Structure 1
Amino acid sequence: MSVNETNYNYVSYLWDEQEAAKMAGDEVALLIYRSNLLGADLRLTNYGGGNTSCKLIQVDPLTKNGIEVMWVKGSGGDLGTLKKSGLAALYVDRLRSLQNIYRGVEFEDEMVGLFNHCIYDLDSKAPSIDTPLHGFLPFKHIDHLHPDAAIAIAAAKDGKKITEELFGGTIGWVDWKKPGFELGLQLKQCLDENPGIRGIMLGSHGLFTWGDTAYESYVNTLAVIEKCSSYLHDRYGRKGPVFGGQKMNSLPAEKRSSQAAAIASVLRGLCSSKQSMVGHFTDDTRVLEFINSNDLSRLAPMGTSCPDHFLRTKISPLVLNLDSEADLSDAQAIKEKLVPAFEDYRKMYGDYYQKCKHPNSPAIRDANPVVILFPGIGMFTFAKDKQTARVAAEFYINAINVMKGAEAISEYTSLPHQEAFNIEYWLLEEAKLQRMPKPKPLTGKIALVTGSAGGIGKAIAKKFAAEGAVIVLNDVNIERLNVAEAEFVSQFGRDTVTTALLDVTSKEQINQAFEKATLAFGGVDIVVNNAGLSISKSIADHTEKDWDLLYDVLVKGQFLVTQVATSIFKKQATGGDIINIVSKNALVSGPNNAGYGSAKAAQLHLSRLNAAELGSDGIRVNVVNPDAVISDSNIWAGGWAEGRAKAYGISVEELPAYYARRTLLNQIILPEDIANACFAFVGGLLSKSTGNVLNVDGGVAIAFVR
């Protein structure tokens, strides 16, 4: 079979013959290559969804005879990033022989444990529930995907009839069935009854396609999805306006962003009643078309059809009944309007659970919505971390595409609530959740550390990211900020960080930075006032300009950042942490230090005052007092090192050793030491402490607070 990428209008042909030729004869490598290409196009399958396989003859290590082995994507993972370590390899004959002991659909879950007895490669990933779906089909290469265009047909009221007419009988049909052993047998039965078909449509679920080679399977998959896409595209508008036409118009893009930022932290607080959530916002044109439509009120409560969509987005979204142009600045007034909507949603979810639960069902999970639709503005999603929230948004856009297509050709149908519940509270799914690693201490937390592109600030941000937080990196220097961002993305991933140019003396930039935090993540939980500078001069040499600069950055900057941070904390109503990086100089008198030392003293007392005022809102304010942190610090630029060396009568090169010798522990202090102190305050063990000062100076007796 030959094909050219110009044949496609709705999918991307990515096969590189030269690249594939390097893998000739290695079917597993070609499987991975094909999988990565398919996973790279979200029109073909969603993140983490679908699976692929290949079958080949390999040497049985026990008999040394040739034996058929199936390599298939294992449990979890994503096709776009699949590696060999993400595959399971099983003896085909052993897998198929499980039919002999299968006790029927009521007992199909017990078969999953038996997959391990069919393992060929001992380094295999755990086999997924979809393993028999591939194993009971005879084809050498198989793709199981969740393309929006195919699911739109599969979720249409008369999808079976449309499939038959569209493909002239070359694509089979299997009615909705929960993934598992029984569905694998049904696929085999469909093939037996329809020999010669090129694929099978799974009702409400997805698509199976295949080929004799990796390439043939790839182009067969593309061709089927292309035909589905073309069919839908040709029918948009024939029945009337998409989604029944537009009921309202979106606000301009800039206004959408400002309104989303204004309400995000309120929504996040309401969604975090059980655990701290991280948010994602999108005003993608596909979202706006749906949420502004006349059919929103009919389609949104129906929920999704594909199990992958449903697991990520919950039974249905919460639609906000708010005027998109309303003044959202009064958080308390907005919250009073939203609380009843959230209570109604939680009650709906609780009723759904009670109605559908089985005697052995897991306990009810968080009843808060995952997807929140704000007509005229966009879509918010909230989950345990940023990646999960972002992926939930992608899945709901997939669901919107499916609804749009199904409505264009017929009538959209969703999973019945009982079937949806059986997927959501599936004991096998629960077991998978229980096997997941324990969340890190700062999972679900959002941290903004001022001056975090280098030195102490970057060390604090890295520590928080390593412990599970998402980070709002910022700095006054854009080049320094860009370098830090690339470092964070490389080390922690794209979903862990957003950036903002921030001069803490500018209230406008402070507001912009926090708005960026709320748009990117939904709000903020931890704010570290770290940005600073130092000037070491005698009273005679100190200028008024020096004095104003020190107080503007250190004192006024801390005040302004804290002021905006606390307004967001109060919107969320989930408490918060403020840590102020001060200095031992706030407590110790020394020469050539009038401006810097007095500003640090002001920072320290301002921290005490804030702690006293904000405690009733669950907002903790604490102080870390470093000393002589020289590594990668801006503090030592601009003549400070020279000034301190002169004050002590030593050379600049002697400063690190000098500072270490004067401490009780004779230790050099590093940025990581300050980061560890900050984590001590926010990591959970000191959640009932506020107004404290933690010295990290190696032990300077004259800087003891008490």
Structure 2
Amino acid sequence: MSNRPDGEEQIRKALGDDVIILPYVHPGFALSKAAAEAFVEHSTARGMVLLRHGLITWGPSAKAAYNTHIEFVNLAEGYLERTRPATPTGAAPSVEQAQAAYRAWAPTLRGKLATPSGRDDIAWKRAILRPIIDDATLALLNSPVARELLVTPPLTSDHLIRTKMLPLWVDTPDQLDAALDNYIAAYGDYCDANWGRTAADTPRFDPLPRVILCPSIGAVCVGPDAPAADIARDITAQTLAVKATIGEPAEYEGLSAEQCFDMEYFPLQLAKLRKQSESPLRRHVAVITGAAGAIGAGICRYLLEQGCHVAATDLPGDGLDSLTAELAGRFGARALGVPLDVTSPEGIAEAYGQIIDAWGGIDLVIINAGLAHVSTLKEMDLARFQLLEKVNVEGTLNLLTASAKLFEQQNTGGDVVLISTKNVFAPGAGFGAYSATKAASHQLARIAVVEMAGMDVRVNMVAPDAVFSDGARKSGLWQEVGPDRMKARGLTEDGLEEYYRNRNLLKARVTADHVAHGVYYFATRQSPTTGATIPVDGGLPDATPR
């Protein structure tokens, strides 16, 4: 009701004479002063509507004020139900069609929405995407009046910092480039026309949209991380619902360009933004295979602690389910569990698709899934060797293939970290199947170093040794290898861990966190490095990479 040319008249009809109606005033002291003066003049009122801001109610107690608020909201809802026109709709694709189209388009869109960072190491400030794809949104976006009604200023100035003044309208995904160019130019014109309203040395925001509307896909909302993008999504969902209720473009009246600019470049708002710090991985999406094991779980947890979005993948089962519940309970929308069999290219495509659905793309791929087997060459079961080859070698190849294609589509670089092993450099007797297949995996990664560098994709390796567990999570490798090693040396499980600790030069107990720190070093690009291997083994001279 507030966002109409006759908003004051509509509110008066709906709420009666018990409310004060205050014309729009810029947030801050001026608004507080205007509200106070209006209250003095109408002290018997029970509430106040601040046009294009909201509703305030009061009373002798908190409960009384709340009850008045509910009363006015109910009156407004009843009035709208009696007077609202038909919601504009049009023939639209199905939700399933739109979701498939979004999955195919999102990495391209995410790449186009990245902004240069001004740094040589991490060249792009990426974005996280959160879509709105449902029947109501698709029907609204395909109505004859959709563009005229929806590409309009926000409901209230508070939304500007999340949504910008206008959404970007894209008729079809293949028109993205032209639509973006026009949007960027229009944002520049908007700033030029209003720049005299702010300090000359105020830095401009990037000119890219925060909300994208596309009839064949839905609404896509953008933020530096999932929580921020979710706020933009919630605001957008409410904005679409309100504008749909108004129905006719001529009946909607938002903020003027000057009012939007004054809020977007409000000095107090800018001061708050300048104080915000950002972790290096806040805008990153990582996928980790073999996540339910000791090393994988430790990497997931550590990257999430550093602000990253993390998709934990493993074979379906209790291990992945419990890890997903643990991570999602602690890290919310930045954690995701996805079943994945690395031996299946189709399974990888589906898993990557689910990650794209959640966040728009992938920036960091950690290849950790693997199998071990204890056997001499003389006694080697060929079928067992072939199983290791399928997981350790073909799994690596499948992931590198899928990742290269996705990185190319996003066009913002990327990182691959292979969890290798000291056995690549110092293989042991009775461990031939594991050592050989991990060496092949390592060699594939070294080839990827050369092939992907032109896309600004760095490929590095971390080679741990003797990581037995991560809390209660046991290492699958050591569950396979441990019994044979304990028997050969006459040791208990604790004794075996102590044996390996004393074997390395630093006498260090190597943990999953140590491995995660190695991954983090490469993911944050702390040096101009690709093709390197970091040993995380406490110092094993025979296993030093050569």
- The TM-score with structure 1 as length reference comes to 0.73
Paired residues for 1:223-234 under 5 Å: 223-234=71-82
User: Of residues 447, 455, 475 in structure 1, which corresponds to 2:286?
Assistant: 447
Residue 384 of structure 2: aligned partner: 546
**Greater mean alpha carbon deviation, residues 526-535 or residues 190-199:** 190-199
User: Of residues 397, 421, 424 in structure 1, which corresponds to 2:264?
Assistant: 424
Instruction: Name the amino acid aligned to 1:558.
Output: T
User: Of residues 355, 367, 373 in structure 1, which corresponds to 2:207?
Assistant: 367
Change (3 A) 1:289 1:216: farther
Q: Is the 8 A contact 2:108 2:409 kept in 1?
A: yes
User: Of residues 426, 436, 443 in structure 2, which corresponds to 1:588?
Assistant: 426
Deviation (angstroms), 1:317: 0.9
Deviation (angstroms), 1:474: 1.7
Distance 2:361 2:154 in 1: 28
Residue 189 of structure 1: aligned partner: 37
Cα offsets for 1:379-430 (capped at 9, x unmatched): 1111111111111011011211222233479811010001000000000100
1:519 equivalent in alignment to 2:345? no
Deviation (angstroms), 1:638: 5.1
User: Of residues 323, 331, 336 in structure 2, which corresponds to 1:484?
Assistant: 323
Moved over 4 A (4+): 646-653
Residue 56 of structure 2: aligned partner: 208
Q: Is the 8 A contact 1:381 1:392 kept in 2?
A: yes
Residue 158 of structure 2: aligned partner: 308
1:235 equivalent in alignment to 2:83? yes
Deviation (angstroms), 1:252: 2.3
Q: Is the 8 A contact 1:472 1:500 kept in 2?
A: yes
Instruction: Name the amino acid aligned to 1:515.
Output: G
Counterpart of 2:212 in 1: which secondary structure? Answer: strand
Q: Is the 8 A contact 1:625 1:695 kept in 2?
A: yes
Residue 298 of structure 2: aligned partner: 459
Counterpart of 1:223 in 2: which secondary structure? Answer: helix
Distance 2:54 2:525 in 1: 43
Q: Is the 8 A contact 1:156 1:407 kept in 2?
A: no
Counterpart of 2:154 in 1: which secondary structure? Answer: coil
Q: Is the 8 A contact 1:232 1:408 kept in 2?
A: no
Q: Is the 8 A contact 2:130 2:359 kept in 1?
A: yes
Residue 256 of structure 1: aligned partner: 98
Q: Is the 8 A contact 1:624 1:694 kept in 2?
A: yes
**Greater mean alpha carbon deviation, residues 202-211 or residues 647-656:** 647-656
1:267 equivalent in alignment to 2:109? yes
Distance 1:654 1:230 in 2: 74
Change (3 A) 1:439 1:491: same
Q: Is the 8 A contact 2:150 2:240 kept in 1?
A: no
Distance 2:372 2:357 in 1: 33
Counterpart of 1:169 in 2: which secondary structure? Answer: helix
Deviation (angstroms), 1:192: 2.9
Deviation (angstroms), 1:560: 0.7
1:353 equivalent in alignment to 2:201? no
Deviation (angstroms), 1:548: 1.4
Counterpart of 2:516 in 1: which secondary structure? Answer: helix
Distance 1:235 1:568 in 2: 49
Q: Is the 8 A contact 1:317 1:372 kept in 2?
A: yes
Residue 661 of structure 1: aligned partner: 502
User: Of residues 563, 566, 572 in structure 1, which corresponds to 2:401?
Assistant: 563
Q: Is the 8 A contact 1:310 1:420 kept in 2?
A: yes
1:672 equivalent in alignment to 2:519? no
Paired residues for 1:272-311 under 5 Å: 272-274=114-116, 275-311=125-161
Residue 222 of structure 1: aligned partner: 70
Counterpart of 1:357 in 2: which secondary structure? Answer: helix
Distance 2:72 2:139 in 1: 27
User: Of residues 193, 198, 219 in structure 1, which corresponds to 2:46?
Assistant: 198
**Greater mean alpha carbon deviation, residues 605-614 or residues 175-184:** 175-184
Q: Is the 8 A contact 2:128 2:223 kept in 1?
A: yes
Residue 701 of structure 1: aligned partner: 541
Q: Is the 8 A contact 1:577 1:621 kept in 2?
A: yes
Deviation (angstroms), 1:559: 1.1
Change (3 A) 1:356 1:410: closer
Distance 1:409 1:528 in 2: 49
Distance 1:288 1:221 in 2: 33
1:163 equivalent in alignment to 2:8? no
Deviation (angstroms), 1:592: 0.5
Instruction: Name the amino acid aligned to 2:278.
Output: P
Change (3 A) 1:647 1:368: farther
Residue 99 of structure 1: aligned partner: none
Cα offsets for 1:225-278 (capped at 9, x unmatched): 1111121122233xxx423x42x31x2222222211111111111101232111
Deviation (angstroms), 1:633: 3.6
Residue 691 of structure 1: aligned partner: 531
Residue 119 of structure 2: aligned partner: none
Distance 1:614 1:308 in 2: 43
Q: Is the 8 A contact 1:459 1:672 kept in 2?
A: yes
Distance 1:231 1:172 in 2: 18
Instruction: Name the amino acid aligned to 2:151.
Output: P
Q: Is the 8 A contact 1:286 1:397 kept in 2?
A: no
Cα offsets for 1:187-211 (capped at 9, x unmatched): 2232233332221111122111112
Residue 384 of structure 1: aligned partner: 224
Distance 1:185 1:668 in 2: 64
Change (3 A) 1:480 1:636: same
For structure 1, the residue ranges without an aligned partner over 5 or more in a row are: 1-152, 324-333
Change (3 A) 1:351 1:404: same
Distance 2:496 2:479 in 1: 16
Counterpart of 2:21 in 1: which secondary structure? Answer: strand
- The TM-score with structure 2 as length reference comes to 0.94
Residue 608 of structure 1: aligned partner: 446
Cα offsets for 1:594-622 (capped at 9, x unmatched): 11110011011111101111100111111
Distance 2:14 2:94 in 1: 40
Q: Is the 8 A contact 1:448 1:524 kept in 2?
A: yes
Distance 1:652 1:178 in 2: 68
Paired residues for 1:101-140 under 5 Å: none
Cα offsets for 1:165-200 (capped at 9, x unmatched): 222211221111111222222222322333322211
Deviation (angstroms), 1:161: 0.8
Q: Is the 8 A contact 1:235 1:409 kept in 2?
A: no
Counterpart of 1:665 in 2: which secondary structure? Answer: coil
**Greater mean alpha carbon deviation, residues 300-309 or residues 379-388:** 300-309
Distance 1:539 1:648 in 2: 21
**Aligned residues, how many?**
533
User: Of residues 171, 192, 205 in structure 2, which corresponds to 1:321?
Assistant: 171
Cα offsets for 1:628-655 (capped at 9, x unmatched): 1111343345532123345556555432
Q: Is the 8 A contact 1:539 1:592 kept in 2?
A: yes
